[in-house]
Structure 1
Amino acid sequence: TSEQIEHLHRRFKQLSRDQLTIRKENFDSIPDLEFNPIRGKIVHAFFDKRNLRQESDGLADEINFEDFLTIMSYFRPIEMNMDEEQLDRFRKEKLKFLFHMYDSDHDGKITLEEYRNVVEELLSGNPHLEKESARSIADGAMMEAASICVGQ
């Protein structure tokens, strides 16, 4: 809605300190991200050209308000008045966005190592869990997913 866009524009201006673009370091001032274990991946996703619907690969140095809106659209909730086609497209866009967050080497695949890194990052805030345990959890989940994919 226009109110949501106005709210996002105010947030953009606050983050950019009234500049026309935002850089990665502007995200350092967001308290809600400070203790998020995947903070780096979230910030990275804002600058990933694949998420900005650009043809080239890699990271943008800065984003403008239109880019900011594009990224924020991935976070919006499902609307009740969406038809099946809109709902399908919406879900695919969200999945693609998430996939890009975890495909850190941009090769179109999420490797076991990339998956391990994500699990380790997510569990890093747990002081009772050692890195090796996190790796074991990641390996077990990947093995389970692999067995489902091959139909065992």
Structure 2
Amino acid sequence: MGVGLSLPGRPVYADMAEKTGFSCHQISVLHKRFKQLSQSKDTLRKEDFEAIPDLAWNPIRTEIITAFFDRRNFRQSAVGKVDEIVFEEFLQVMSHFRPPRLSLTKEQRESVKREKLRFLFNMHDTDNDGTITTEEYRCVVEELLSHNGPQEKTSYIADAAMMEVANTAEEQMEPGGFFAGITFEHFYKLLSGFDIEHKMSLRF
């Protein structure tokens, strides 16, 4: 886990800005929010997220909170869960929700899409075995469509997405083979048509 940063200064902000893409002003605002949630402590624990009203009725509340304590989301080559996080780790997770800049090249936009989908994949690959089940994938599709129209339409598209998974899996499997689950590359291909860059974005 990182080093506690109780009072980040401008040089530290500049380093964090380079790593996360946030401006120094945005980092300052997020640091105030971090201190508010942690009650001015140097670390955040899962129970501190209980104070966020917007999460209270979110259907994937548990998955969102768990994502903040998943080492895979700290932009490091590490796996496993932690019990508490420091501000820099909080900032790294929040950076996955940063809206893409308008000036991005096609390659950069593709990189942003891949990064956000990796974060989404990690949220549902809870046992970190490199795959998610078809039912978990259905939940992902329903989440992405949750604000896009009536529930009947959402269910129809989700069912079509499941059919696509089944067809693709059948094509890739050997005769008598076993479908273990959806890998990240398969997940990325299946969801590449979603506007994930903006669906997974928050204004800071």
Scaled by the length of structure 2, the TM-score of the pair is 0.60
Distance in 2 separating the partners of 1:40 and 1:87: 29
In the TM superposition, what whole-angstrom CA distance separates every residue of 1:5-53 from its partner, at most 9, and x where no partner exists?
Answer: 1110010000111011100100000000000000000001111111113
Are positions 1:13 and 2:44 aligned together?
no
Say whether residues 1:50 and 2:87 are aligned partners.
Answer: no
Residue 132 of structure 2 aligns to which amino acid in structure 1?
A: I
Please state how far the C-alpha of 1:105 moved relative to its aligned partner.
1.4
1:2 Cα shift?
A: 1.5
State the Cα distance separating 1:63 from its structure 2 match: 0.6
1:145 to 165, 186, 191: 165
Return the letter of the residue paired with 1:102. Answer: H
State the aligned residue count.
Answer: 138
> Does structure 1 residue 104 correspond to structure 2 residue 122?
no
Deviation for aligned residue 1:140? 6.1
Q: 2:113 is matched by which residue type in structure 1?
A: R
CA RMSD of aligned residues (A): 2.7
* Partner in structure 2 of residue 23 of structure 1: 45
- SS at 2:71's partner residue? coil
Hey, what does 2:59 align to over in structure 1?
37
Alignment of 1:121-140 (within 5 A): none
Distance 1:22 1:60 in 2: 11
* TM-score, normalization by structure 1: 0.78
Aligned to 1:47, what secondary structure does the other structure show?
coil
Tell me whether 54-63 or 101-110 shows the greater mean CA deviation.
Answer: 54-63
Structure 1 residues 74-113: aligned runs within 5 Å: 74-113=96-135
Structure 1 runs, 4 residues or longer, greater than 4 Å off: 137-140
- Equivalents in 2 of 1:145, 1:10: separation in Å? 43
SS across alignment from 2:121: helix
Report the AA paired with residue 143 of structure 1.
M
Separation in structure 2 between the aligned mates of residue 40 and residue 84 of structure 1, nearest angstrom: 34
Distance 2:37 2:107 in 1: 35
Please state whether the residue corresponding to 1:74 is helix, strand or coil.
helix
